[in-house]
Amino acid sequence: MKPVDKSTVVRALTEMSQYLQLKGENSFKTRAYDIAAERIQGTTEDLAALAAAGKLTSLPGIGESIATKIADLVTTGKMTALEDIKAQYPPRILELLTVQDLGPKKAKALFESLGVGSLDELEAACRDNRVRDLKGFGQKTQEKLLAGLELARRSMAAGGRKRLGDVMPQAEALLDFIKRAPGVKRASLGGSVRRMKETVADVDLIASAEEPAPVFAHFLTFLQISEVIGSGESKTSIRLKETDLQVDLRVLPDEDFASALHHFTGSKGHHIRLRGMALEKNLTISEWGVFRMAEDADAPKKGTAKHEGAQEKLRIREEKDLYALLGMQYVPPELREDAGEIEAALAHALPTDLVSAEDLQGNVHSHSTWSDGRNSLEEMVLAAKAMGFKYFTVTEHSQTSNYAGGLKIDDLKRQWDEIDALQEKVKGITLLKGIESDILEDGSLDYPDSVLEQLDVVIGSIHQRYSQDEDAMTKRVLNAFDNPHLHIWGHPTGRLLLKRDAAPMRMDEILDKAAKKGIVIEVNGCPERMDLKSEHVRMALQRGLKLSLSTDAHSVDELRSHVPWALASARRGWARKSDVINAGDLKAFRAAITRR
């Protein structure tokens, strides 16, 4: 039996949670599996060794029952409990959980009442008007499910695109694996992963070595390969188990590494512009380097290399050398989208101080076990302090969010007492009292002003009624901005990548009012959201708005793991350190959220 890797264990635990939810098990039991999956994802321990020694329960969040199931999987290759529960359902029933507005309870009802066990069967039931007659559904729900089906299928069919946050752990593991291959001098991720796009279709790896064959041989020993798609002298393509993710590895001489990395990073639009500029300087650019053409050289014939007949191959040690040849400032990978970066680089006007992880001084948005978080408030604060944060805003869900353990007013006041006590106990980090208040359908917040005025930070977010049309949604947000106690607009468009589209709203109009009122715009780092998208980040910055880079963490692990996705969205939107309120010290942060 091949060793069972960490991703297989995480997937099995996640599926156990989903199947138990379908069975109607209580939330404490199902969340235990989600927490265990998160812990396993973040551990560097050898699971097989821990199982053999009977020490899986030494991992935080892993109890005896779950440890037994993990041990079963890593020692036999199967989790018997998961196989048993799977046998009770159609093989594709978990597809239903990819549909917007279709949670486990509704999926359970559809299966038990109508025998629906796949997207195709759900569509047939909706088309036959069988869903609307079920208790708790109705005509509107049926119409929403049909719309959600279309999005779910589009997501699955969009070149097999996957969320960046789901792909990156495997991509980084592969990169680390390739760096250890014999003879490798340099290696990097490329493509849309390197550009930090929210969704990606595949993974590009570029490596340099004198001899490609040993590198490819090492690559093919990676345990999670399900098939070898193709292999040649300079490129090998494989598909991974479980995720069906395609990975392309290219190995070139080290002298060609920088030009190849640039070429396979993209984007296509960025490259087309650069190639045109190069031709004007009698240069050609490709993955094989930058070449100066003879003055009287004919245009390359169809089917021949673009550098055939070149007079000279120019030395490109780093990507910055390529841009310098074209008289340009270096363009960071996140900005290479042909969205104005070329003109700015020619004018040497690109930002050189894009916000980085080292700049962040405070955590602004997170949840503890007071609402729907998985760690206590003290655990979250201590973790934030260990990460180097100087201040921590406590922002649980508000009273309208019953499904997320939202705090009633009495609960909120009891939490204030805990915050005061915790502040006395934990030194070196300042705790701020806050809330993530729901923006209701009419734009009001779900606490009275007498409560909101006592808080240091109020984030206003939409969590329900996303079906409003553009006019209603725009008015809803504009009305919220009139509340003098609102400081930050949280996960603004409400999108869930590959699952729920952004809410319809007139962003120009909304950002104009935000600028007038002094509202801070959140860039949410939850990998399922990555909200705002980069285009909207740039629109906000063009109006002089400030950003809050938020983890929206529901656990200690997410405090760390969500930071890169907030940074990715902000950097792709050209955000500098000075644009981000939690890149400043506490005094600057307080000043930045002061309303106009």
What is the pLDDT at residue 155? Answer: 59
The token pair that represents 351 in the structure block: 């930002």
Q: What is the CATH number of the domain that holds 53?
A: 1.10.150.110
DSSP, collapsed to helix, strand or coil, labels residue 575 as coil
Q: What is the CATH number of the domain that holds 320?
A: 3.30.210.10
- Per-residue pLDDT, averaged over 253-259, amounts to 94
Question: How many Cα atoms within 13 Å fall on the side-chain side of residue 108?
Answer: 12
What is the pLDDT at residue 256? Answer: 93
- The set of residues, in sequence order, having a beta carbon less than 8 Å from that of 423 and lying 6+ positions away, is 430, 431
Please check whether residues 444 and 583 belong to one and the same domain: yes
CA distance 176 to 516: 47
What is the pLDDT at residue 317? Answer: 93
CA distance 250 to 482: 54
Please check whether residues 181 and 150 belong to one and the same domain: no
Residue at which a domain ends, from 346, 378, 409: 346
Helix, strand counts (H, E) of the chain: 24, 17
pLDDT at residue 158 greater than cutoff 60: no
- SS (HEC) of 69-116: HHHHHHHHCCCHHHHHHHCCCCCCHHHHHHCCCCCHHHHHHHHHHHCC
pLDDT at residue 521 greater than cutoff 90: yes
DSSP, collapsed to helix, strand or coil, labels residue 40 as helix
- pTM (predicted TM-score): 0.76
Please check whether residues 311 and 368 belong to one and the same domain: no
Tell me the residue ranges of DSSP E strands in 387-494: 391-397, 430-438, 457-461, 488-489
Which carries the bigger pLDDT value, residue 47 or residue 354? 354
Q: At what angle do helices 507-517 and 470-481 cross, to 10 degrees?
A: 10
What is the pLDDT at residue 245? Answer: 83
What is the pLDDT at residue 125? Answer: 92
Q: What is the CATH number of the domain that holds 489?
A: 3.20.20.140
**Residue owning tokens 């270096």:** 330
CA distance 386 to 365: 17
CA distance 177 to 389: 32
CA distance 516 to 481: 10
> Could you please report the per-residue DSSP string of 318-340?
SHHHHHHHTT-----GGG-SSSS
Within-domain flag for 497? yes
What is the pLDDT at residue 439? Answer: 95
The token pair that represents 53 in the structure block: 């020694």
> Could you please report the per-residue DSSP string of 172-201?
HHHHHHHHTSTT--EEEE-HHHHTT-SEES
Span 542-590, pLDDT tens digits: 999 999 999 999 999 999 999 999 999 999 999 999 999 999 999 999 9
Q: In total, how many domains does the chain have?
A: 4
Using the CB atoms, write b or e for 168-178: b if 16+ within 10 Å: bebbeebbebb
- Per-residue pLDDT, averaged over 376-403, amounts to 93
Within-domain flag for 351? no
- Per-residue pLDDT, averaged over 508-512, amounts to 95
Q: At what angle do helices 212-219 and 164-179 cross, to 10 degrees?
A: 130
- Structural domain including 577 reads 357-592
CA distance 166 to 143: 30
Question: Which range has the worst mean pLDDT, 151-160, 342-351, 402-411?
Answer: 151-160
Contact call for residues 106 and 90 (beta carbons, < 8 A):
no
DSSP, collapsed to helix, strand or coil, labels residue 223 as coil
Span 92-109, pLDDT tens digits: 898 888 887 788 889 999
Residue at which a domain ends, from 346, 367, 391: 346
Burial of 321 from C-beta contacts in 10 A (0-12 / 13-18 / 19+)? middle
- Per-residue pLDDT, averaged over 478-500, amounts to 93
Question: How many Cα atoms within 13 Å fall on the side-chain side of residue 438?
Answer: 20
pLDDT at residue 479 greater than cutoff 80: yes
pLDDT at residue 304 greater than cutoff 50: no
Within-domain flag for 1? no
Please check whether residues 503 and 557 belong to one and the same domain: yes
Within-domain flag for 352? no
CA distance 318 to 323: 10
Please check whether residues 68 and 101 belong to one and the same domain: yes
Most confident by average pLDDT, 54-58, 358-362, 461-465 = 358-362
Which carries the bigger pLDDT value, residue 393 or residue 201? 393
- Per-residue pLDDT, averaged over 449-467, amounts to 92
Q: With bands split at pLDDT 50, 70 and 90, how would you rate the model's confidence at 302?
A: very low
CA 89 to chain centre: 30
Please check whether residues 200 and 152 belong to one and the same domain: no
- Per-residue pLDDT, averaged over 218-237, amounts to 89
What is the pLDDT at residue 414? Answer: 95
Residue at which a domain ends, from 142, 157, 172: 157
Please check whether residues 23 and 110 belong to one and the same domain: yes
- Per-residue pLDDT, averaged over 282-290, amounts to 86
Please check whether residues 414 and 399 belong to one and the same domain: yes
Q: Where are the alpha helices (DSSP H) in 426-561?
A: 449-452, 470-481, 507-517, 534-542, 556-561
Contact call for residues 490 and 460 (beta carbons, < 8 A):
yes
What is the pLDDT at residue 303? Answer: 38
Contact call for residues 311 and 376 (beta carbons, < 8 A):
no
Which carries the bigger pLDDT value, residue 48 or residue 61? 48
Question: Which range has the worst mean pLDDT, 27-36, 415-424, 513-522?
Answer: 27-36
What is the pLDDT at residue 1? Answer: 62
- Radius of gyration of the CA atoms of the chain, in A: 26
Name the percent of the chain lying above pLDDT 90.
Answer: 62
Please check whether residues 95 and 77 belong to one and the same domain: yes
pLDDT at residue 298 greater than cutoff 60: no
What is the pLDDT at residue 500? Answer: 81
What is the pLDDT at residue 319? Answer: 95
Within-domain flag for 577? yes
Mean pLDDT value across the chain: 89
Q: What is the largest CA-CA distance in the chain?
A: 82
Q: What is the CATH number of the domain that holds 231?
A: 3.30.460.10
Please check whether residues 339 and 484 belong to one and the same domain: no
Please check whether residues 135 and 227 belong to one and the same domain: no
Q: With bands split at pLDDT 50, 70 and 90, how would you rate the model's confidence at 154?
A: low
What is the pLDDT at residue 28? Answer: 77
- The set of residues, in sequence order, having a beta carbon less than 8 Å from that of 218 and lying 6+ positions away, is 177, 178, 180, 181, 182
Q: What's the DSSP call for residue 398?
A: B
Contact call for residues 170 and 143 (beta carbons, < 8 A):
no
Contact call for residues 175 and 189 (beta carbons, < 8 A):
yes
Please check whether residues 85 and 15 belong to one and the same domain: yes
